[in-house]
Amino acid sequence: MSNRRNARLDALEARLTGPKKIALFGHRNVGKTTLLAMFYRQAAGGLVPGVRLAAADPPTAEYLAEKIAAIESGEATGGTLSETELHLRLYHGPARFELIVKDYQGEHVTLGSDEPIQEFFAGCDAVFLCLDPEGSADPAERRRRQQEVENLLERYIEKSEDISTDRPVALLLMKFDRVLAREERGSVADEAFVEDLVDRQYGMTRHALRQHAPDGVIFAVSAFGPGADGNRPPSEIRPMGLEGPLGWVAEQLEVRDRSQMELLWSLAADDLPRLHRCLAAYEKRYPRSNRTYEFRDRLARLERKKKLRRLGIVAASVAALAGLTLGYDLLGYARATAFERDAGNTATAVAARWSELLANHPTMPYILPRFAREAADKKAEWTVKASGAQVAAGSVVPDLEAKLEAARAQAPRLAPAIREVEKSREQIRHDERWKEVYSQANSLEAIDEPSKGLTALDGFLREFPDSSKRPEALKLAQGLKAELETRRTAVERRVVDDLARAEALPNASLADLIERARKFLDEHPESPYRQEVRDRLDDYLKRLDDRDIARAREFSKRQPTSFAARIDKYQEYLKAHQAGGRYVSEALEAKDRILREWDAHAYRQAHDYAAARPDDAAEVARRLRDYLRDHADGRFAASARAYLDWWDKVSVPNGYRVTLRRGTVPASAGKYLSGGGPDLGVTLEVAGATYGPSPVVANTTRPIWDYTFSQPVVWKYGDPITIRVIDYDWSASEVAVLNSRQGDPLAMRLLDNTIKLAKGGGVTLTFTSDFNMPTLAKPE
């Protein structure tokens, strides 16, 4: 019975929390797909008052969009070939419904069919029965359609607890615009006409709805509106009656949800988690419904009532348990007291009995606090007595310190007894320790290794400074110490003698001798041979100091140009003698002197090369970079960097301002009948580019131009230069040409100088420019 009830409650919860399934029941060609598409088109576009329909997922939106696009383009609607599940959201006032509707092939509803759509119909929350009054005029065919509806209704009635369909059912008269056109009623269909039409054509279905679905309704609808031609939509789509079914199904779903919530409350008033889940789904579906607040208040009252009932049960249980616990604790205390009074029980057993009482009765401190304190005091008292007896008997008492400390904290009055136990234990420990130390100091091992016996005696005296055995321990220690001193002195003498022999060997390692001497001084701080070894160490250090500085001096004499290695040699000396070598100042001065020599030497390599081959600026720059690499802060670093800056500029194309100042040509340079002299101008060719001509100075052999070429002359290291002097009298003719020397990488110098054209006889030209050659500082 319980399983059947749970199954019913689970089904009821699934209907309240899950999406609503809407059955669109109709045979082929009745217009189900078109009706679904137009429902979505009108309700989503705001053309159905009070209702909005939305696609809940992309597949649904794409399916409906495809159908609507075909209708709006005027295509004839075709039959549906496959079953398609559509997920929609219906908004009606403040309510929101998650809907599942299936589009399917109409033949699947024929009598005797067992297609999957039949299972979907069985679990639907509302049903639209779609019938076409303009379908077949054959009475047998109409009866067949009504029998299909009858088969569906009978399945609903069979599963209901009464003889109703147990869900809202509406009859949709499809394509009603054609009925109106046939009856010549325009676009108006009054209720009496619709009722009469249903009675005449679908009397069987109407009778079944009156008997088993008294709340069922009839809607006359047209998805296309007037003017449709068969399955082809009219040019202007004007749907009829679509607002009625959508509003009705929303209202019926809400009414059914309220009744199902009431039913759930009557069947599962004690199942609070289920009520919470169903109410949460109801609140989400109807967020501002008054019934929501009523259900929420009812659930709160039910929770309070259930909580009070639980608290009453808990209180009664606690009271009963407290009574049982009180009796149990009193009985335990009485038994422990009787055990204590029995003279035949040892102190250890009595202490254990009081400990067991406290351990086995954890509620006693709360229910009988006075008895619990007395039991704790008894436990402490008998623990001290038992410990004293065990210590006196020579037994080992585990965790004695902790037990005594706990007893002292529990019962301060036991402090004298505790001190007596501690004294007894300390005396026993003292005697056992002295036996051990005395035996070790007089053993054969102490003869071979006196230090072990001496260490044992020292530890005993530190542990027991007021011991009565102190005089005897000191006498034993003096004998062991004298023997130990004699042996240590002999060992130290052998070490010093070994050091002297090693010193006398040829090619003796000074570093090894120094290490051995320092090790002796560290390990024998009170040796009588310390001064002798210290003198030897000073001699070793002096010899090592002289040897290392001599190596550095000799290397500098042999390798005067190996500057880095010379510096390293002196640095090695400083590192080896940083604690106080006698030649530290000399080494530091030598490093500075070598660095200055190295600086001048490295710079001189570049300077002398520049003086000998000034045109090879690339090699000069390379040598200066080598200099700066090792002497970034050298004395000639500024001069080197200035040259390298100039080299970086000339090694890539750069523009220079060039000014043609004046010139001279021989008197024979003029043309016949040229007047007072030639008309002279100058052009430049640099790296294939032509600059000029300059202004023409007429009738003179000593022209003064003072002309700056309008465009900067672009030149880089290695580019050739050609200078042409042209006479423009009568016609342009060359007076003289100067080509820079072949292979001259610094041809730009011509344009900052007074030059004589080799192929121009007595022709000279004077130029100035912002090009200049750098100069290197002379090395000291």
> How far apart, in whole angstroms, are the C-alpha atoms of residue 274 and residue 42?
38
Judge if the upstream peptide bond of residue 693 is cis by omega within 30 degrees of 0: yes
Angle between helices 510-523 and 530-558 (to 10 degrees): 150
Cβ pair 573, 610 in contact under 8 A? no
Sign, Cα dihedral of 546, 547, 553, 554: positive
Query: Which pairs with CB-CB distance under 8 Å and at least 24 residues apart come from 739-744?
Result: 744/615, 744/720
Q: Interior CA angle at 153 toward 148 and 154, to 5°?
A: 95
Q: What is the pLDDT of residue 1?
A: 43
* Residue with tokens 């080992």, as numbered in its chain: 396
Side-chain half-sphere CA neighbours of 491 within 13 A: 10
> How far apart, in whole angstroms, are the C-alpha atoms of residue 274 and residue 272?
5
* Residue with tokens 């072949």, as numbered in its chain: 742
SS3 273: helix
Residue 189 corresponds to which tokens in the numbers above? 């269909």
Q: Is the pTM of this model over 0.95?
A: no
Query: CA-based Rg of the chain, rounded to a whole angstrom?
Result: 61
Angle between helices 243-267 and 2-17 (to 10 degrees): 150
Burial of 566 (0-12, 13-18, 19+ CB in 10 A): buried
Stretches where the chain sits below pLDDT 70 are 1-2, 136, 185-189, 319-320, 386, 388, 390-397, 400, 414, 418, 421-422, 426-428, 431, 444-448, 479-485, 487, 537, 672-676, 758-760
SS3 417: helix
389, 392, 398, 401: CA torsion to nearest 10: 90
Q: What is the pLDDT of residue 422?
A: 66
Element (H, E) at 768: strand 764-769
> How far apart, in whole angstroms, are the C-alpha atoms of residue 691 and residue 714?
10
Q: Which of 695, 720, 699, 721 is nearest to 708 (CA)?
A: 695
Q: What is the pLDDT of residue 436?
A: 77
Residue 356 corresponds to which tokens in the numbers above? 């067991």
Cβ pair 213, 126 in contact under 8 A? no
What are the φ/ψ torsions at residue 262 (nearest 5 degrees)? -60, -40
SS (H, E, C) 649-711: HHCCCEEECEEEEEEECCHHHCCCCCCCCCCEEEEEEECCEEECCCCCECCCCCCEEEEECCC
> How far apart, in whole angstroms, are the C-alpha atoms of residue 706 and residue 658?
10
> How far apart, in whole angstroms, are the C-alpha atoms of residue 589 and residue 592?
5
What are the φ/ψ torsions at residue 313 (nearest 5 degrees)? -60, -45
Residue 686 corresponds to which tokens in the numbers above? 């640099």
Q: Which of 80, 102, 83, 103 is nearest to 29 (CA)?
A: 80
Q: Give the residue ranges of DSSP H helices in 464-583.
A: 470-504, 510-523, 530-558, 563-576
Going by C-beta distance under 8 Å and a sequence separation of 6 or more, which residues neighbour residue 657? 708, 709, 712, 713, 769, 770
Angle between helices 415-441 and 470-504 (to 10 degrees): 40
Going by C-beta distance under 8 Å and a sequence separation of 6 or more, which residues neighbour residue 113? 107
